[in-house]
Structure 1
Amino acid sequence: MKLSELWHLYEADKRIQGYSPRTLNAYVLQNKMLMTELGDPEIAEITLPMLKQYLAKQAERLKPSSLGHRIRFVRSLFRYAYEETYLTSNPSLKLREPKLDKRIPKFLVEEDVIHLKISCQSLRERALLELLYCTGCRVGEVERINIEDLNWENCSIVVNGKGSKQREVYFTIECKVWLRKYLTSRGDTCKALFVTDTNPTKRMAIPTIRWALKRLADRGEIETNVYPHRFRHTYACQLLDNGAPLDFIQGMLGHEKASTTQIYAQLRGERRREMYRRFF
């Protein structure tokens, strides 16, 4: 079996498992880079040294985290080939991901959030800002929210997270007010919660959400880098400050592993230091 044939079988398998189009597109790119380096050999001819040589070239220009994505794809591809008995041994079995420095998630201090709110010039900006700030949703989750997903009575939303896993998140009364104001101002019939300014029938995509926040930060003259995931970190930080246990935060963020949430435990001390540096 050729590498290209294996890829088509692998991709079909992931589609059946319900992998998102964004994840599949990332895999397409990963496979293209692998085949650019190796060509299209018989998969039985692919060895561990060949894979290491490919990854070593990638390591010259990639951050450890990005290299880790490459390695995980290669391991997943050849693990699939082995488990489906297309291979009698797995050449990727001994591949190891690079060690990553433990980074403390970056968050927004309350002063920055206030400046952002003051800088809003449209109902959509304020509604988007409030939703990101009080739900801790990933930007991809926000992009996919439809109006019908909102439960106004409970102030909750069922969002579709990673791996098509659903969870319920909650929003504040303040967020509810701004969402209602924004939706009332719209004259379109689009089912998406957030639509573009230029075409109200078109769902607001991730790059547009990022751009809207950058524009808001520039307008508010905020020196901190403002991006969607930073609101997620800020949300976790707020929960920690208010005494929420880590297992509760894990559920609210939709983390599959507790270890992913554990890094936020470092935020409590880091937040105090940030506030001290800023105000003392």
Structure 2
Amino acid sequence: MDASENLVTDFIIEINEYEQEVINSMRNILYKVIYNYNISKKSTALAKNDNTDIEIIKMFFAVKKIEGLSDSSLIAYKTELESLFSKINKSIKDIATNDVRYYLAISSKTASSVTLNNKRRILCTFFKFLEQEEYIIKNPMTRIKQIKEEKKIKAPFTSDELEKIRESCIDERDEALVEFLYSTGCRISEACGVDIEDIAFDKNEVKVFGKGKKERIVYINARAKIKIKNYIQERSCGPLFITCKRANGKYERLNSNSLRMIFNKIGKRAGIKNCHPHKMRRTMATKALRSGMKLDEVQKILGHEDIQTTTIYAETDMQDVKRKHEHLF
């Protein structure tokens, strides 16, 4: 532990009687104040990334691309690393734990705990890669602990909201999208990648490619099957969700942002706040669990690597408690 970290530790011990929220704020302030000091003044001369840094970063993204990281995730990693290097003017090999703490401390002024943990997760992945590939000897993220988040239970759509969404669809594509998302519990990125050939109508099954381009089977119910067939009509191949107008003589596949905008517009017409596609995924998962489906079965449908991710949907909200209480009498 270096001198500056000792200073922070001693300071925290002295203010230990304060509430945890105050201690956290004071610690962040202290990290920011002492960042420019090596107990004596710390040099702030800019250190440009050398060619080695550039090659390391290129290698990192090449490996992640090969591992199947999605384009949106790669963009998120790029944005985060650019943000780090803009605040910490050091070569990659010289970045220490205190530098990362300083970066997270200044980020905490405008970022939520969830966002800070996302930043921490990306940096952990990056520096773990550097350590494994022996670009660095010491991983600066080893002592950076997860930030405590305020636990909020995110509610699914209610039955009334779901019906309002259905009533607010203005064409067959809207209807197919709503029922597909509700029945399968797919991520919006998975939905935009589905081809008509991926749907086995006789088995009510759909082949999708999730994170890491991993293939899995999801299921459509009778209502979704009808709406999808009404939408595709005579089409027998190609993208499931397409543009309304031709471009260069053909219909184009809708991307994630386009499908998200379509769904958001449906929500606005329905008068529902916070209406987004992922909430439909949550609704499907919650309904499945409340109907008695096992947690590991829901995990397989949703395509979660870690079952702990699935347990988020098993959180009991007060409406569920109330419903079960009413059934007692």
Partner of 1:192: 239
The answer to whether the aligner puts 1:43 opposite 2:92 as a matched pair is yes
Cα distance 1:183–1:151, how it changes in 2: closer, same or farther (>3 A)?
same
**Shift in Å, 1:210:** 2.0
Query: Percent sequence identity over matched residues?
Result: 29
Q: What is residue 105 of structure 1 aligned with on the other side?
A: 154
Q: Which amino acid aligns with 1:197?
A: C
Cα distance in 1 for residues equivalent to 2:79 and 2:161:
37
Q: Secondary structure at the match of 2:150?
A: coil
The alpha-carbon deviation at position 127 of structure 1 amounts to: 0.6
Partner-residue secondary structure (3-state), 1:179: helix
Per-residue CA distance 1:187-234 (angstroms, 9 max, x = gap) = xx97211012234622112222222222222323x3342110111111
CA distance in 2, matches of 1:183, 1:272: 41
List per-residue Cα deviations over 1:105-153 (Å, max 9, x = no partner): 3211111111222222211011111101111111111111111111111
Task: Decide whether the 8 Å contact of 1:3 with 1:42 is kept in 2.
Answer: yes
How far 1:268 moved relative to its partner? 6.4
Moved over 4 A (4+): 272-276
Equivalences for 1:244-263 in 2 at 5 Å?
244-263=293-312
Supply the AA of the counterpart residue of 2:98. P
Change (3 A) 1:270 1:259: farther
For residues 4 and 56 of structure 1, do their structure 2 counterparts lie closer, same or farther at Cα, with a shift above 3 Å needed?
Answer: farther
> Matches of 2:322 and 2:173 in 1, distance apart?
34
For the structure 1 residues 106 and 251, does the alpha-carbon distance in structure 2 shift closer, same or farther, using more than 3 Å as the test?
Answer: same
Q: Does 1:26 align with 2:72?
A: no
Match of 1:204 in 2: 254
User: Structure 2 CA distance, aligned partners of 1:274 and 1:207?
Assistant: 36
CA contact (8 A) 1:240 1:268 kept: no
Structure 1 residue 239: deviation in Å? 0.9
SS at match of 1:97: coil
Tell me how far apart the structure 1 counterparts of residues 169 and 141 of structure 2 sit (CA, whole Å).
50
Look at both structures and tell me which one has the larger radius of gyration over its CA atoms: 2
Secondary structure of the residue aligned to 1:225 is coil
Please, which of 112, 117, 128 is the counterpart of residue 166 of structure 2?
117
How far apart, CA to CA, are the structure 2 residues paired with 1:171 and 1:26? 32
The one-letter amino acid of 2:82's match is: K
**Alignment CA distance shift 1:176-1:21 (3 Å):** same
By how many angstroms is 1:264 displaced? 2.1
- The structure-2 alpha-carbon separation of the partners of 1:256 and 1:270, relative to structure 1 and needing over 3 Å to count, comes to farther
Query: AA paired with 1:12?
Result: A
Structure 1: gaps spanning 5 or more residues: none
TM-score w.r.t. structure 2 length?
0.76
Q: Deviations over 1:3-54 (max 9, x none)?
A: 3332112112212222222211111111111111123x33332211112111
CA gap of 1:144–1:275, structure 2 versus 1, over 3 A, is: farther
> Aligned pair in 2 of structure 1 residues 18, 207: CA closer, same or farther (>3 Å)?
closer
Does residue 5 of the first structure (1) align with residue 52 of the second (2)? no
- 2:40 matched to which residue of 1? none
**Distance between the aligned counterparts of 2:265 and 2:68, measured in 1?**
35
Match of 1:59 in 2: 108
* 1:119-138 alignment, distance < 5 Å: 119-138=168-187
Q: Which amino acid aligns with 1:201?
A: Y
